[in-house]
Structure 1
């Protein structure tokens, strides 16, 4: 059993928490406002909600399920709580258009994962699941074709930990692709720029990137 802090209380957090708990992990949700209306439903489901420092400090693995635009600033403020730990980053850092779709990357020529690793040198950052619609992050078999979960990070043990958690979320090992070090997160993060066009072509259906082989 691993103690996991999911930082963020929106759709991504809700997609991940239940499946991680069902796999036997202890899960705490971290929120900027742990007593606010946005987190009211968690208590009824038996999930502990705490402030961000408390949640991060109590866990072995931290999941960044916050908006990518605020991630570096917020997580840098938690450097002490994150030191030595695995930070599983699923966010996309983008500028959005009036319709709410990604219009540009916040870190062109780089990636959010790289910025987090640079800002948090004592933390082991691993990027994954950012090419997957939140509704299938913990239910990938729901899709009509096997999707891919890309993994990028500098620390082999941290990637092994994250791969194990992906398996707990329903990802078959053959669907998980280790791309290499944290710099390899650049291309998967750029996938966010395709989302508006894919929804225009396919409609508002869950989807993920896949690799045919």
Structure 2
């Protein structure tokens, strides 16, 4: 059992928290309020950022001390929405939210994952007819192994998890969010994930 704080109590945070509790972890959920987020992060070993990506950097940078020596699992994408409310542009072109977080939080182990799919797939990967991929980006191998174990607890098979390398590889997975609005307009809000055919 691991003490986990999920920052963000929307659809993404709520579904992750419920699945991790079901897997036997001790989970605290906090909204975007600074005090609640700080309290939750302070007592956790792992913190999951499920807050909207456009405000994540400022929100989490303010928790620098609370996040010291913790693993920060970033599942958000930092985008500017178009008129229809769907992602239209990246906020950090040429970089990534994950890289910006690692720079702002040098004593925290940032791992990017689960950001290349619609949120229902995060906790039910086997529900898709084709095996999905979950990608890991991060500079610390031990932190990535811990996150890999969490993914397994969420129903991900080992062969569905791909370690892409350092935190800079999050640029590629974060850019994949630009597929999402086109897929939704084409097929509707049906669960899907980016997958590598092998």
Aligned residue in 2 for 1:3:
3
Distance change >3 Å, CA 51–CA 100, structure 1 → 2: same
CA distance in 2, matches of 1:74, 1:32: 8
Aligned to 2:42: 57
Separation in structure 2 between the aligned mates of residue 136 and residue 160 of structure 1, nearest angstrom: 21
How far apart are 1:33 and its partner, in Å? 4.6
TM-score normalised by length of structure 1: 0.91
Shift in Å, 1:94: 0.4
Aligned to 1:13: 13
Structure 2 match to 1:197 = 182
Residue 24 of structure 2 corresponds to: 24
2:79–2:90: 8 Å Cα contact kept in structure 1?
A: yes
Deviations 1:26-62 (A, max 9, x none): 000012359xxxxxxxxxxxxxxx8111000010000
SS in 2 for 1:118: helix
Question: Take 1:32 and 1:111, find their aligned partners in 2: how far apart are those partners?
Answer: 21
Instruction: Determine the structure 1 residue equivalent to 2:82.
Output: 97
- Structure 1 segments, 4+ long, off by >6 Å, are none
Return the match for 1:108 from 76, 90, 93.
93
For the aligned residue pairs, the C-alpha RMSD in angstroms reads 1.1
1:126 aligns with 2:111: yes
1:53-92 alignment runs, 5 A limit: 53-92=38-77
Q: Aligned partners of 1:24, 1:204: CA distance in 2, in Å?
A: 30
- The whole-number CA distance in structure 2 between the counterparts of 1:208 and 1:33 is 30
Measured in 2, the distance between the counterparts of 1:80 and 1:6 equals 17
- Report the counterpart of residue 184 of structure 1 in structure 2: 169
CA distance in 1, matches of 2:28, 2:185: 36
**Deviation string, structure 1 residues 59-105 (Cα, Å, up to 9, x no partner):** 00000000001111000100000000000000000000011111110
Q: Distance in 2 between matches of 1:18 and 1:105?
A: 29
TM-score by length of 2: 0.98
Aligned residue pairs, count: 198
Measured in 2, the distance between the counterparts of 1:212 and 1:98 equals 33
Q: Which runs of 5+ in 2 are unaligned?
A: none
Which has the higher mean CA deviation after the structures are superposed, 23-32 or 157-166?
23-32
